[in-house]
Structure 1
Amino acid sequence: MSALRINIVLFGIGNVGGSLIQQVLESQHFFQEKYNIELRFPIITNSSLAFFEKEGLANTWEANFAQSAIPFRVEDIIEYTTNQGLENLIAVDATNSPDIVKSYISLIQNGFNIVAANKTANILHHDFYTEIRRNLKKFDKDYLYEANISAGLPILNTIKELHFSGEKITKIRGVFSSSLSYIFNRFGNEDIPFSKIIEDAEKLGYTKIDSREDLSGNAVAEKLVILAREIEHKAELKEVQIMPLLIPTLNETHTKSAYKNNKNLLDKPYRIAKLTQNENHVLRYVGEFDIESEKIEVKLISVPVNSALGQLQDTENLIEIYTKTNSKNPIIIQGTGSGKEIAARAILKDILKISNNIKQKETIWL
């Protein structure tokens, strides 16, 4: 029997998107032998240009894109896939842009399943969140996004499986940011100024070039909202109580140059926080959702060195899931959660899940 052809339209060919293409090309033969599927990329895009390839991508895709990509709209892509009779469609959003999210519903209505690293669709107003899922049900399509949270770890799937098996989740707490994990792991283990560690994190690419985006706590808040919604709480981003790591004398209101040249202002308050905590404790920046009180917080806490959170290393993420049957000893998911290859692999896993769902549906119809 010939392999089932899965047509992937990839939005975003940057670090994550490029890694995804490479992983698929390297494993294409394996997927055909193991799953009897062929993953193809008939269309790939960056923010403004699209490359259309009827036969799918080859190892020369970067050069071909540079030579032949043309301006596009999402409507053009939908029209092209319809005219070409392409089936088994998956739109992969490997961007950070809110623009493509505006087209999710239209894509679903025109035959696309969706896989996303982009968190935007899951943190907008709950009405939009609900409308996407209404259309998914109506058109019998899938939308997967394990890469939204600590891409290398099975957090979303675990949370959903627990919840929909009837297990009562009482609290979710953890370190969701690889960049902030690195900063506080080093700060706890080394006698070094806080600002120096931030500068190192910027140079290593663990934070954005302007690390204030990481220190604001907003990214952690977004992940908490996604998790809350996965267990059917109508959480909104504005409801999250965020304790930013920035200080009034150095925050988002200052210029980039002022922030760059005055990071040392952060040293004293964090030195004090470090010295005044209990003995054999370390600082950790966590996100916490207490389901019973419906309180969602992003905050700096002090934990024992020998605790699960206290023993984190490097850029590790760790999530604790407290349930009615695991109230004292939470389920712990721990490991490296970031990096372009890791995010691409998480996307690929979701693509394979949807591909398997498509195969099962075809078998039923046969």
Structure 2
Amino acid sequence: MSTQIVSSPVLDRIDLNNIKKKKINIAIFGHGNVGRHLVNQIISSKEEISRRRDVDLNIFAVANSKTVLIQPNGINNNWLDEKKKSGHTYSVEEVIRFAKNNNLQNLILVDNTADADFVQNYPTFVENGFHLVSSNKIANTLGLKFYKHLRDKLTVNRRQYLYETNVGAGLPLIDTIKLLHLSGENITRIRGVFSGSLSYIFNTFSEEDRLFSSVLRSAINKGYTEPDPREDLCGNDVGRKLLILARELDLHNEFEDISIQNLIPKDLRNVSKEEFFERLIELDVPFQIKKKNQSKDSVFRYVADLHGDLSKETGGLLNVNLVSVPKNSMLGALKGSDSIFEIYTESYGDNPIVIQGAGAGAAVTARGVFGDILRISDKD
């Protein structure tokens, strides 16, 4: 029996190559290290994504704190030069108005800034149809009033807010914790090394016969730390990450609830960055004493720890400290600038779920942001 293909006037009129793809319109705020990597990753991948997913990624706006480049048909490889020539001062309202006037659908706001003021615009973007993707962790660590207000807006407007990179750069951490929590799994503790820069510093300091100032300079030169390494050494960034995880478990903690060990000597905390660099050797004696007093076969790790009765909204205890751990433990075996997260649950008992990998780097973080964009694109 043969099969006959019958020509149809309707089928004849369809060009399968020209079926309209879903267009995702993206506004990216912040084009420093992470933002620049992200824009270039999207541009270089968009043809392949269009072929595999039937999705057309269109970056219609790129902005920093001063200027914006808006192009309705999307930016190209020369976007940075174009922005220098054609970028103009702007308001958030202008970007929103442009999207409305040009009837842009499937809108995503991407925040790669570290700007506390900019996150106040999130509810306005949501009200105007934008989903949110952010590597900026500030919105998730402000007061609980703002935190809940934003989530109410997201629910009412049926928008998504993804921020996987807030804690583990490109690691699938927040998603894992969300799924465990929503499935009813009782998470009893989360502990780990949350900072790639501090991971490198203490992995190296513990293993090598070098002064702390030498290791710190090495981390600075490799680009592992913030331009002012005190932003890493004060522990506040690790504290914010721990707070984000606590709130994923519906705990009602504020930043002030976290006990954080500041690694910067008091008389170096408020001097200029230049003076701090000149006085780095003042860190050597206190850290050398700590190393000398450490027990055998132990290493230093800067550890964040969420514990207590996590079944109660106010039962969480949040601590960030420099601790000494056995070299043969999971935390002690950490290498390079990797991060590690141990998730203890009632079902798994004393055997935690372990997520480990690259915890720092602009390209890694940008790839994680890109992943969040694609997840929204698939659902929108």
TM-score, structure 1 normalization: 0.95
Write out aligned runs for 1:6-155 (5 A).
6-155=24-173
For the 8 Å contact 1:169–1:291, the answer to whether it is kept is no
Q: Which amino acid aligns with 1:280?
A: D
Cα distance in 1, alignment partners of residues 52 and 308 from structure 2: 41
For the 8 Å contact 2:246–2:316, the answer to whether it is kept is no
Q: Return closer, same or farther for 1:130/1:259 CA change in 2, 3 Å cut-off.
A: same
Shift of 1:247: 2.1
For the 8 Å contact 2:299–2:326, the answer to whether it is kept is yes
- Residue among 291, 301, 309 paired with 2:323: 301
- Residue among 330, 334, 337 paired with 1:312: 334
Cα distance in 2, alignment partners of residues 195 and 59 from structure 1: 41
Partner of 2:15: none
Partner of 1:342: 364
Deviation string for 1:112-147 (max 9, x for gaps)? 000000011000000100000000000000000011
Cα distance in 1, alignment partners of residues 170 and 301 from structure 2: 20
Deviation string for 1:186-207 (max 9, x for gaps)? 0111010011111111122111
- Residue among 291, 298, 322 paired with 1:281: 298
- Residue among 193, 203, 223 paired with 2:221: 203
Cα distance in 2, alignment partners of residues 67 and 331 from structure 1: 50
Cα distance in 1, alignment partners of residues 373 and 59 from structure 2: 12
Cα distance in 2, alignment partners of residues 16 and 208 from structure 1: 13
For the 8 Å contact 1:3–1:37, the answer to whether it is kept is yes
What SS is found at the alignment partner of 1:210? coil
Matched, 1:240 2:258: yes
Shift of 1:91: 0.3
For the 8 Å contact 2:224–2:360, the answer to whether it is kept is no
Partner of 1:270: 287
Q: Which amino acid aligns with 1:233?
A: L
Partner of 1:229: 247
Cα distance in 1, alignment partners of residues 102 and 332 from structure 2: 55
Matched, 1:330 2:352: yes
What SS is found at the alignment partner of 1:115? strand
Q: Which amino acid aligns with 1:61?
A: W
- Residue among 156, 167, 176 paired with 2:185: 167
Shift of 1:4: 0.2
Q: Return closer, same or farther for 1:100/1:255 CA change in 2, 3 Å cut-off.
A: closer
What are the ranges of 5 or more consecutive residues in structure 1 without an aligned counterpart?
Answer: 359-366
| Bigger shift: residues 237-246 or 199-208 | 199-208
Deviation string for 1:39-75 (max 9, x for gaps)? 0011111111111102101111111111111110001
Partner of 1:361: none
Cα distance in 2, alignment partners of residues 148 and 291 from structure 1: 23
Write out aligned runs for 1:179-218 (5 A).
179-218=197-236
For the 8 Å contact 2:303–2:322, the answer to whether it is kept is yes
What SS is found at the alignment partner of 1:10? strand
Q: Return closer, same or farther for 1:273/1:232 CA change in 2, 3 Å cut-off.
A: same
What SS is found at the alignment partner of 1:70? coil
For the 8 Å contact 1:212–1:251, the answer to whether it is kept is no
TM-score, structure 2 normalization: 0.92
Partner of 1:4: 22
Q: CA RMSD in A?
A: 1.1
Partner of 2:8: none
Cα distance in 2, alignment partners of residues 299 and 327 from structure 1: 24
For the 8 Å contact 1:283–1:302, the answer to whether it is kept is yes
For the 8 Å contact 2:141–2:240, the answer to whether it is kept is yes
Partner of 1:364: none
For the 8 Å contact 1:201–1:207, the answer to whether it is kept is yes
For the 8 Å contact 1:11–1:95, the answer to whether it is kept is yes
